[in-house]
Each structure stands twice: as structure tokens, then as C-alpha cells.
A and B are shown apart, each in its own frame.
Chain A
Amino acid sequence: DTAVSQTPKYLVTQMGNDKSIKCEQNLGHDTMYWYKQDSKKFLKIMFSYNNKELIINETVPNRFSPKSPDKAHLNLHINSLELGDSAVYFCASSHEEVRGSGYTFGSGTRLTVV
């Protein structure tokens, strides 16, 4: 009964490959986010969706494409993976009425590009 779950937890892949990370939340939240945590632990927002609508799209290479089939799911697809994409990717969710507060993070996906 994990609140925000991500799969896979670990992902090792070669440069140039395409990969996807999935996120699901069962909290009834309507806003979901993708954050990237680099090797220095810095957390930077990438995307946010509210009720399947993209509301935040930071300066992220267009090789990254989020998709939200419904408000409980937010997936991240990455094309043509590069070494610099290696990081931990966290999904998070929050409720519209207190949007931005009470983020619940997923357990993270550690992506290693070799």
C-alpha cells in the first residue's frame, strides 16, 4: 500500500538507449511531479502535471517526455540516453487544495547510463 511508487528502482543502460520510468500514487492527489537529484544531491524540478495537464515544463532536453494517462500516474520516457542523465529521479505528488505543500515523494529510480 505504498503511497507513491516508482518502477524500476534501479536502471542501468547503455548510452543511446530509450527507457521509461513509471510512477503511481494512491493518495488521491491531483498534481504529480518529476524531480532529478544529481550526484551532489541537488533536487531540481523537471515536470509537473495537474489532472493530466502539463503545468510545469522546466528547461529540460526534449529527449525527456512525460506522460500522464490519468491523475494517478505520471511516467517519464527518456530517448537517446546520455551519460549526463545518470541521476536519481523522484516522482512526487500533492493535493490541489494545498498544492506545493505536503509533497509525498516516491522511493526514487537510480538511473545509471554507461
Chain B
Amino acid sequence: GENVEQHPSTLSVQEGDSAVIKCTYSDSASNYFPWYKQELGKRPQLIIDIRSNVGEKKDQRIAVTLNKTAKHFSLHITETQPEDSAVYFCAAGAPGNTGKLIFGQGTTLQVKP
């Protein structure tokens, strides 16, 4: 069935370092890959997304790369700051009429000052 694997489950970095979170997906029909950030006790919020017709997208300190052949995509955060500390979720969506997103298991990122 549809599945999204996300690694690592926890990640601790020093402020200013980079953080990378990786996801793989099983459904080759997937064509939409969003990333969500969830702070403690709050709702998941979309931070960046990529569609299958591009290989990379950047927004300030955040970038996402996609390798459709290998069915994996990654989130890169540069110059991390303490406020980047949160749980990050990747997700994959396939075309069709449901709009269903399959989420990864989440990565708890801790940025130490």
C-alpha cells in the first residue's frame, strides 16, 4: 500500500549548522510533496512543497530536493535557529480526486543555542 518513510526520527544540531531530513515514498504515481512544521501543541503548517516536474525548490533557508527515479525527497534547513526546533513531517500526494496526503512518521528537530 501507500507508504512514506521518514528519517531520522530525531535530529539534534547546533545553532547555525544545517539539518537534513529524508523521505522515501512507495506510490510511483505521487506527484506532490509538501513539508509541514508542527511546533509543540500547535497545528502542522505548510512550510514548503514541491511538485514532480521540478527537482529542487528553495525558500530562504529552506530547500527541498526531489529524486523521482529513486522515489525520495529531502528537506534542507541551513543556518538553523532555535525557533526551527519542531516536528517536521513530509508527505506525498498522488493525482486523482481525493487529495489524500500520506504523511511520514515525523522528525523531531532540536536546535541547540
CB A60 to nearest CB in B, in angstroms, measures 14
Contact status A94-B103, CB under 8 Å: no
CB neighbours of B108 from chain A (8 A): 41
Given known A43-B44, A105-B45, contact A48–B99 (CB-CB < 8 A)? yes
CB neighbours of B38 from chain A (8 A): 41
Contact status A105-B44, CB under 8 Å: yes
Contact status B42-A99, CB under 8 Å: no
Contact status A105-B101, CB under 8 Å: no
Contact status A100-B105, CB under 8 Å: no
Flag whether A61 is at the interface (Cβ < 8 A): no
Number of B positions contacting A (CB below 8 A): 24
Within 8 A of A (CB), among B90-113: 93-94, 97-103, 105-106, 108
CB neighbours of A64 from chain B (8 A): none
CB B44 to nearest CB in A, in angstroms, measures 5
Flag whether A83 is at the interface (Cβ < 8 A): no
Contact status B105-A40, CB under 8 Å: yes
Contact status B99-A94, CB under 8 Å: yes
Contact status A103-B98, CB under 8 Å: no
Flag whether B25 is at the interface (Cβ < 8 A): no
Q: What 0/1 pattern do residues 31 to 58 of B give for CB contact below 8 A with A?
A: 0101010100011111001000000000
Given known A41-B87, A42-B106, contact A107–B42 (CB-CB < 8 A)? yes
Given known A43-B89, A100-B93, A103-B34, contact A48–B103 (CB-CB < 8 A)? no
A-B contact pairs, 28 of them (CB 8 A): A40-B105, A40-B106, A41-B38, A41-B87, A42-B106, A43-B103, A45-B101, A45-B102, A48-B99, A48-B100, A55-B97, A55-B98, A56-B98, A56-B100, A90-B43, A90-B44, A100-B32, A100-B94, A100-B98, A100-B100, A101-B49, A101-B99, A103-B34, A103-B36, A103-B44, A105-B45, A107-B43, A108-B42
Q: Which residues of B contact A (CB under 8 A)?
A: 32, 34, 36, 38, 42-46, 49, 87, 89, 93-94, 97-103, 105-106, 108
Top 8 nearest A-B pairs (CB, nearest first) are A99-B99, A100-B99, A100-B93, A105-B43, A43-B103, A41-B106, A56-B98, A105-B44
